[in-house]
Chains A and B, each alone.
Chain A
Amino acid sequence: MFDRRLVQNFDWTLLSLALILGFLGLVTLYSSVTAATQVPQMEYYKQLVWYFVGLIFLVISFLFNYKTFDRWGHIIYILCISLLVGVLIFGEGSKGAMRWLKFGFFSIQPSELVKIAVIIILARYYSKHANTTGLTLRELINPFLLTIIPFVLIVKQPDLGTAIMIVLIAGSMTVFVKIERRSFLYLIVLGVISIPLVWFFLREYQKARILTFLDPDRDPLGTGYHIIQSKIAIGSGMISGKGFLKGTQNALSFLPEQHTDFIFSVLAEEWGLIGSVIILIVFLILIIKGLNVAYRCREPFGTILSVGITAMIFWQVIINIGMVMGLMPVVGVTLPFISYGGSSLITVMICMGLLINVSMRRFMVE
């Protein structure tokens, strides 16, 4: 059963990338939770534990042939959706958002895991329906439903950031397998018409929230202030940075999410342009590597699965870093490997495991 070729073809590059990014994440987190109090806080040790748990999940994810996930895709999907429903009923959370499910001594955020389920179920569907002329509107109904269900459930929590991620991942995968030209035009026209319609039915406070989302300057005491502080932190790093544990903006505790969504600004302040570009390049290598796995895979499910995973990492990096630099609206999207949070880390570790899985089994296609 255990083929020698599997060992020979093991993708050490992907594993190394996961280890490097994980290490950089721990170092940055250490600084971000230490600066204000001089001693590392609980978060650091918790994340350390999550990191090792994540490695275990990574290994589990490449032990089985990834084709198993093709076969069990719908079961995984239903399971994750039930967890999301569970969150709405039994969920716990803070600041009015219900995102966590508590299991004894730890809690998980099912919205993170759902991203993987959507990637698998869409890869399963598209691998059977893709053709060179592109998908028609009728063929898009199923993927649409598969995406909209978790989207609505996550918006209800509410966790806008993750909900948008689901749509971006599904959208990227769909565009990758190609939409038929006429259907694509229909979709665009439909979108153009529906946006003002939806806007018309929104309430005043909902409109205000969307406008603030698009233009943080409308909320100078909240999001707008966060962005300014984040830009100051990044910019003040200049070329070589202030050095490890020397960041000052961090100490202000200006951001409630300085160790989660805004962690990149801590990194950029302490390591400067040099450190920031290095980390961006590591992410870029990871993404190119992911696309390369898709490229070398010889059957559609593996290819589309790898594209979905890569799309997830790509969008999270672009949106998170774009956001802290004031290029994008502020939504709660984590930076893979770096942001604090167990569910987010484990999700990305499973994804790495899946990529390794596809990569090492590329010769096993009959």
Chain B
Amino acid sequence: MSKYLQSADTDWYKRRLTGVVFLVLTAFLVLIARLFYLQVIEGDELRRLSANNCIRLQNIEPSRGLIFDRNGKLLVDNRPSFDLNIILKDAKPVEHTIEMLSQYVDVPATELMSKISRNKGISFYTPVLLKQDIGRDALAAIEVHKYNLPGIVVSVKPRRHYIYKQNAAHLIGYLGEISSDELKSGKYSGYRAGDYIGKFGVEKTYEGLLRGKRGGRQVEVNAAGQVVRVLRTVEAFPGHNIYLSIDYLLQKKAEELLEGSAGAIIAMDPATGQILAMASSPAFDQNAFVDGMSHEQWDSLVSNPFRPMENKAINAEYPPASVYKIVTAIAALEEGIIDENTTFYCPGYYKCGNRVFRCWKKRGHDKVNVVKALAESCDVFFYQVGQKLGVDRLAWYARACGLGSATGIDLNHEANGLIPTAAWKRARTGIRWQLGETLSVAIGQGYNLATPLQMMSLISEIANGGIRYKPLILKKVETAEGELINENKSKVTGKLPAGQRTLEIVRQGLWDVVNKKKGTAWIAHVDDVDISGKTGTAQLVSRTGSNDDASIDKANKPDHLKSHAWFAAYAPSKDPQIAVVVIVEHGEHGSSAAAPLASELITTYLSIVGELTLTSNKSDKDKT
């Protein structure tokens, strides 16, 4: 009964509705009062401001973070660039202004007009870029004649400047204008058309650190578009400064050593994984990317057969050649197929089925154990070991050593390399794995592919006792004011699949390579410091097969068929402080073309860090 009495009836709703009407009226009165305030009381002032669209926004570009080497030497900074813009609304008449302007900037008026017509459809108040980076002379002329050039605005933007031409070009990379695809991708929120972003190298990977934050100004302008007063300012926030792990002097040395040839040199601290130098040759001028280059310049870069745009240290894949024998040796020792005393006889060739596999040394190595096999790089020894191991077991060890997959360095376009297995070949070609192919793989030829950085990973593991570090290129990050934000720490990514004893045997072999008269890199030995290493000669023409192709006349071999020269080394042998990998494309022999470069780089580094005072006059270098 009581529930019935309380139920809402029509009259009850009507009473409540009357209340609602008053609320509605009040709200509308407030709106009308506000309209009155804006349009009548403030009307004159707001109409004045609207007359020329007086309140405008101006960008303040953030200055991009600087790039230093590990010792604080400045490698990349910014310089002011004076860009010429026109605001069509203020430039009356446009044709006349452009006529005048073309006298001062030395660009034909027709070309300037075409820039304007290309921007048809955008608002009259948006500045149209006429010419970038006009230089101080043109700037002075324009400032003087400012009043005859209505609507012409010179904006100052920080522009990237790579101080040392071509220095660490691939590592540092370059900037370029953001593309419409990149804008649409959603990865670049907060960016606008016309912005410059890192396109390559460190500039790309650390874009987020270097970029900073855009600021802006609300300004009031007069009828000629000149700023009368600044209403509000949001400061731009400069990007962070980064310190790379490379040493500028060592980097420069590495580039000098590679001059004139195609190839790469990497130097790394094996105890931390910090890259000390990373050179790829030939290189390119990074400033050309920022300043803009002609079609011819661009074409010559991309059509150059020596691929200057490629960072060969991380992106190029080569057969690892004899350097790979380190992996075969580890696998054989760990699997118990050989021990340090096992010997094989090398007559200069090895017969497998009805095929003959040659050793690089025609006369043969006589009796060979594993240390001697590494030191003198005996192919026959490793053919037999490889045959016993089989391709799949070998592949397991290669992968465990870090080959066949990217190292994870903070750079784009890192290649994975290739470690073949029987299953891989079947899936790829449908053909069964052949025993002969195992022999090729065991000496690092055949399908095997590795990047120089992967080889660096391998040699560093040997040097530091078996720990695989992620290669680091960033040492630390600071704010523009110099406040430390982040010190990059070493990161372990794996462990060498080798026991202590195995490691000792391999290290002995590598020491002999450089320090024994018969070692393949005796040419590279120096008196002041013990260097250990392994040479490699990546053949582009097969050494296997029948008798006579081994005797291809070397002098007549065309350049593009010449072998690539490898050398992977570390020093000092007892307490390694630096590991170096050198590859010289078509350099023929690891011993002659690559090893001397490595030893020179090593002595340079050790003298830079004060470990070595250069006394020796590498007298015996040119012999052997």
Contacts and interface: CB of A to CB of B under 8 A. Distances in A.
A253 B51 CA distance: 15
B124 interface: yes
Interface in A300-328: 300, 303, 307, 314, 318, 321-322, 325, 327
B17 interface: yes
Nearest to B232: A220
B121 A224 contact: no
B228 interface: no
A238 B45 CA distance: 10
Contacts of B51: 236, 248
Interface stretch (B21-29, B295-303, B436-444): B21-29
B7 A273 contact: no
Contacts of B231: 220
A284 B7 contact: no
Interface in B600-621: none
Contact residues of B: prevailing secondary structure: helix
Interface of A: 36-37, 96, 130-133, 176-178, 220-221, 224-225, 228-229, 231-239, 248-249, 251-253, 268-269, 272-273, 276-277, 280, 283-284, 287-288, 291, 294-295, 298-300, 303, 307, 314, 318, 321-322, 325, 327
A232 B50 contact: yes
Interface in B212-232: 215-216, 218, 231-232
A303 B43 CA distance: 42
Contacts of A221: 57, 215-216, 218, 234
Contact of B13 (A237, A277, A303): A303
A289 to B, nearest CB: 11
Interface string B1-19: 0010011101011101100
Contacts, number: 140
Question: Looking at A132, A283, A291, which has the most chain B CB atoms within 10 Å of its CB?
Answer: A132
Given A178-B16, A235-B45, A291 B21 contact: yes
A300 B8 CA distance: 8
A112 to B, nearest CB: 23
A280 to B, nearest CB: 6
16 contacts: A130-B7, A132-B8, A228-B55, A228-B218, A235-B46, A236-B50, A238-B44, A248-B53, A269-B50, A273-B35, A280-B32, A300-B13, A303-B13, A307-B17, A321-B31, A322-B31
B28 A280 contact: yes
Nearest to A253: B123
Contacts of B55: 225, 228-229, 232
B36 interface: yes
A280 B30 CA distance: 11
Interface of B: 3, 6-8, 10, 12-14, 16-17, 20-21, 24-25, 27-28, 30-32, 34-36, 38-40, 42-47, 49-51, 53, 55, 57, 121, 123-125, 186, 189, 215-216, 218, 231-234
A80 to B, nearest CB: 26
Contact of B17 (A131, A225, A272, A295): A295
Given A177-B8, A234-B39, A300-B8, A295 B50 contact: no
Contacts of A272: 39
A298 B8 CA distance: 12
A280 B49 contact: no
Contacts of B28: 280, 283-284
B322 to A, nearest CB: 54
Given A221-B218, A235-B45, A291 B17 contact: yes
Contacts of B36: 273
A251 B17 contact: no
Contacts of B35: 234, 268, 273, 276-277, 280, 325
A232 B49 CA distance: 7
B14 to A, nearest CB: 6
